[in-house]
């Protein structure tokens, strides 16, 4: 093709048709520019198409993250609610001076002092937030919800860390105040899990609850954990909003 155009230019020059030569040269330049623009346009379209396909794939990972986080949060809510109920029962029994078995006490104590926290899955979230495509205006509702979702998780983790640190601190004080010395036989019941069959007949629930640090731990769990559960539910709701927004985005296409 290049040889063909070169031959035409040479013929025009040899025939002395300078005006036509320049017109032809200009036309050839225009054709070359148009070709370059078309090539660039095709390349840009391909790049955009690849970015869109990658974003769609990342949205699938994102939804998997959100659903995984939801399952974990629902499990945490269920466990926390059971412990709150048990804490309330312990405090009510203490106020009413009703004795309970060592197994009932240890089962609740063990669950309260066992550290539990939300371990969020972020693989898909990170993929989406690091994508340039998500910064376009059409994805703003999804982008804003995702940023809010991540912010809520950060606040939740700060709260959980604060509560776990508080419980560890109270455990240390209970140890120094003689609680472990009095309770070590009963605490051994948890070695096979808190649902054991062994009951210490000498266990004195009312006396055990006289430790102020112990009452503080149980009361704080009863009062604070509903707020944590509320945060869990808010994160679940926001995750579902993100999934709905993604669906709405593609349904509108």
pLDDT tens string 103-135 = 888 888 888 888 788 999 988 888 888 887 788
Distances (CA, A) of 201 to 121, 185, 186: 45, 11, 10
Please give the full DSSP string across 80-110, using - where no structure is assigned: HHHHHHHHHHHHHHHHTT----HHHHHHHHH
- In the prediction, which pLDDT does 251 show? 77
Question: pTM (2 decimals)?
Answer: 0.76
Task: State the DSSP H helix or E strand holding residue 76, giving kind and residue range, or none if neither.
Answer: helix 18-95
Does residue 169 surpass a pLDDT of 70? yes
What does residue 173 show for φ and ψ, rounded to 5 degrees?
Answer: -70, -40
Length of the chain counted residue by residue = 253
pLDDT tens, position by position, 215-242: 999 999 999 999 999 999 999 999 999 9
The token duo for 227 is 């707020």
Q: Are 97 and 206 in contact (CB under 8 A)?
A: yes
Half-sphere exposure for 219 (CA within 13 Å, toward CB): 9
pLDDT tens, position by position, 26-62: 655 666 667 666 656 665 656 666 667 777 888 889 9
The token duo for 74 is 């629902």
Give dist(CA 171, CA 2) in Å, integer. 85
pLDDT tens, position by position, 203-222: 888 988 999 999 999 999 99
- In the prediction, which pLDDT does 253 show? 65
Q: In this structure, how many other beta carbons lie within 10 angstroms of the beta carbon of residue 157?
A: 14
DSSP 137: G
Q: Which of 196, 202, 197 is nearest to 183 (CA)?
A: 202
pLDDT tens, position by position, 69-89: 999 999 999 999 999 999 999
- In the prediction, which pLDDT does 203 show? 80
Does residue 186 surpass a pLDDT of 60? yes
- In the prediction, which pLDDT does 21 show? 46
């Amino acid at each position: 093709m290049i040889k063909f155009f070169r031959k035409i230019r040479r013929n025009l020059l040899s025939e002395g048709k300078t005006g036509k030569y320049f017109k032809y040269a200009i036309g050839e330049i225009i054709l070359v520019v148009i070709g370059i623009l078309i090539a660039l346009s095709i390349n840009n379209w391909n790049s955009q198409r690849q970015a869109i396909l990658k974003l769609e794939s990342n949205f699938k990972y994102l939804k998997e993250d959100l659903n995984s986080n939801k399952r974990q949060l629902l499990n945490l809510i269920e466990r926390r609610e059971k412990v709150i109920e048990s804490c309330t029962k312990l405090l009510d029994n203490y106020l009413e001076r009703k004795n309970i078995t060592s197994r009932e006490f240890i089962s609740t104590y063990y669950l309260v002092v066992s550290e539990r926290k939300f371990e969020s899955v972020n693989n898909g979230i990170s993929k989406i937030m690091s994508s340039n495509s998500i910064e376009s205006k059409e994805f703003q509702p999804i982008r804003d919800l995702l940023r809010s979702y991540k912010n809520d998780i950060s606040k939740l983790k700060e709260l959980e860390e604060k509560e776990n640190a508080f419980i560890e601190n109270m455990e240390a004080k209970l140890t120094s105040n003689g609680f472990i010395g009095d309770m070590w036989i009963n605490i051994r019941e948890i070695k096979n899990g808190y649902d054991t069959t062994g009951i210490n007949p000498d266990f004195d629930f009312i006396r055990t609850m006289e430790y102020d640090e112990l009452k503080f731990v149980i009361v704080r769990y009863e009062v604070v954990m509903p707020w944590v559960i509320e945060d869990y539910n808010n994160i679940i709701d926001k995750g579902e909003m993100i999934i709905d927004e993604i669906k709405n985005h593609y349904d509108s296409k």
